[in-house]
Amino acid sequence: MRSGRTIAVAGLLLAADIATSTLSANDIPQGERRSGYSFMSPDTQAIQNDDTTNPGMLWVLDGEALWNSKAGATGKACADCHQDARVSMKGVAARYPAFDKTLGHPVDLEQRINLCRARHQETTPLRYESRDLLALTAFVAQQSRGMAIEAGTDPQLDPFVARGHELFMQRQGQLNLGCTNCHDDNWDKHLAGSAITQAQPTGYPLYRLEWQSLGSLQRRLRACIGGIRAQTYDYGAPELVELELYLMSRARGMSIETPAVRP
Amino acid sequence: MASALINVPARAKRGDIIEIKTLMSHIMETGYRHTAAGEVVPRNIITSLTCRYNGAEIFRADLFPAIAANPFITFFTVATESGKFDFEWIGDRGFTEIASASITVE
């Protein structure tokens, strides 16, 4: 009886806490938010600083070629509708994932590109992590480089941001860890030799030296979820998009770095 | 879709030591890896990079399986005259790529 009441009271306090404040106790204060870039060695930073040394630019160049190449039954290129990406795609990546009215849920940039392929080019979707999809995504996202992230402001996205937040806080896997246990609580420490960062998704798709390739935020999330020995979500799963959306709204105001370089 | 990124200074003074940076898109598959089924993934690497300055070879590198994907190679040379740098990468499976960059020497 007594323990039951304690639990009920604790539950009420928790509910009140969530209701009254979107900032939970362990959120990173706005002024202390740092891009993963600032955790890197000067050598790795130098690779990102120069577009002729940044391997991510290889994908951007490929993406530019794809942007202008015709595809699908309608024989349209991205450029036939969107013209010059430097103008039309400026700021787009800063707003993604965004709500798709037809589907009734948020889609990330990769999914938007594939929706465009299906709806307007009438062709098959590009496979997740395929060179072409990464290249197009990197090319589109690079047009927003230096701009402030503004994802998640659309009120229709609120429930999805909230679910992403829940997933971020939820302990799971054999190691029983939530994202927050490392990336909110311990970001100034190290895990073995590697810096634990704040998980700010400012530079995706990005070139990881470990991958020797460009990779998406979903790939990064799946690697982390595997790392805590939990069941990974499939590429394109709503949970991954919700996590992406939460992370992007958590990083609101930080600058896009695409294509970033990370160790 | 191989592509190269080249960084050569657009202009330099005669006698200046200049840095040339090259980045080539390539998977650099070592030939030592196996698939889940146990089959060897065949080697597929770049084997050489050559740079010519107005036709004269000034740099050559042989590449081996221990080199990471998307090889980034930099080297130095002396700016002697205005003209062109020609780069050529050669590799397994008939891989060849060329790129060039111009320099003005004052």
Sort residue A180 into left (φ over 0), alpha (ψ -120 to 50) or beta: alpha
How close does chain B come to A138, measured CA to CA in Å?
15
Contact flag B70-A50 (C-beta cutoff 8 Å): no
Name every chain A residue with its beta carbon within 8 A of the beta carbon of B25. 55, 58, 62
Structure pTM? Answer: 0.87
Question: What is the mean pLDDT of the segment spanning B20-45?
Answer: 95
Say whether pLDDT at A198 is over 90. yes
Contact flag A53-B69 (C-beta cutoff 8 Å): no
Q: Given A61, A65, A213, which is nearest B69 (Cβ)?
A: A213
Length of chain A as a residue count: 263
> pLDDT of A80-139, one tens digit each?
999 999 999 999 999 999 999 999 999 999 999 999 999 999 999 999 999 999 999 999
ipTM of the complex: 0.85
> Between A and B, how many CB-CB pairs are < 8 A?
39
With both helix axes pointing from N to C terminus, report the angle between A109-116 and A131-142 in degrees, rounded to the nearest 10. Answer: 110
What is the 8-class DSSP label of residue A262? E
Contact flag A53-B72 (C-beta cutoff 8 Å): yes
pLDDT score at A9: 45
> pLDDT of A141-159, one tens digit each?
999 999 999 999 999 999 9
Q: Given A52, A58, A65, which is nearest B7 (Cβ)?
A: A52
How close does chain B come to A51, measured CA to CA in Å?
8
Structure token digits, residue B103:
């320099």
Say whether pLDDT at A1 is over 90. no
Question: What is the mean pLDDT of the segment spanning B74-93?
Answer: 96
Contact flag B21-A53 (C-beta cutoff 8 Å): yes
pLDDT score at A25: 53
Question: What is the mean pLDDT of the segment spanning A241-255?
Answer: 96
The whole-chain average pLDDT of chain A stands at 91
CA nearest B45: which of B30, B60, B32? B30
- The residue type found at A148 is A
Question: What is the mean pLDDT of the segment spanning A204-229?
Answer: 96
How close does chain B come to A37, measured CA to CA in Å?
20
Chain A contact for B35, CB < 8 A?
Answer: no
Chain B, 52-81: which have a CB under 8 Å from a chain A CB? 68-70, 72
Q: Are A61 and B3 in contact (CB under 8 A)?
A: yes
Say whether pLDDT at A253 is over 90. yes
Q: Among this protein's residues, is A81 annotated catalytic?
A: no
Higher pLDDT, B40 or B1: B40
pLDDT score at A24: 53
Q: Where would I find the H helices in chain A?
A: 2-20, 42-49, 56-67, 78-82, 85-88, 109-116, 131-142, 158-169, 179-183, 217-227, 238-250
Sort residue A121 into left (φ over 0), alpha (ψ -120 to 50) or beta: alpha
Higher pLDDT, A21 or B52: B52
CB atoms within 10 A of CB A215: 20
Contact flag B5-A65 (C-beta cutoff 8 Å): no
> pLDDT of A52-78, one tens digit each?
899 999 999 999 999 999 999 999 999
Q: Which residues contact B96 (CB under 8 A, 6 or more apart)?
A: B88, B89, B90
Contact flag A52-B6 (C-beta cutoff 8 Å): yes
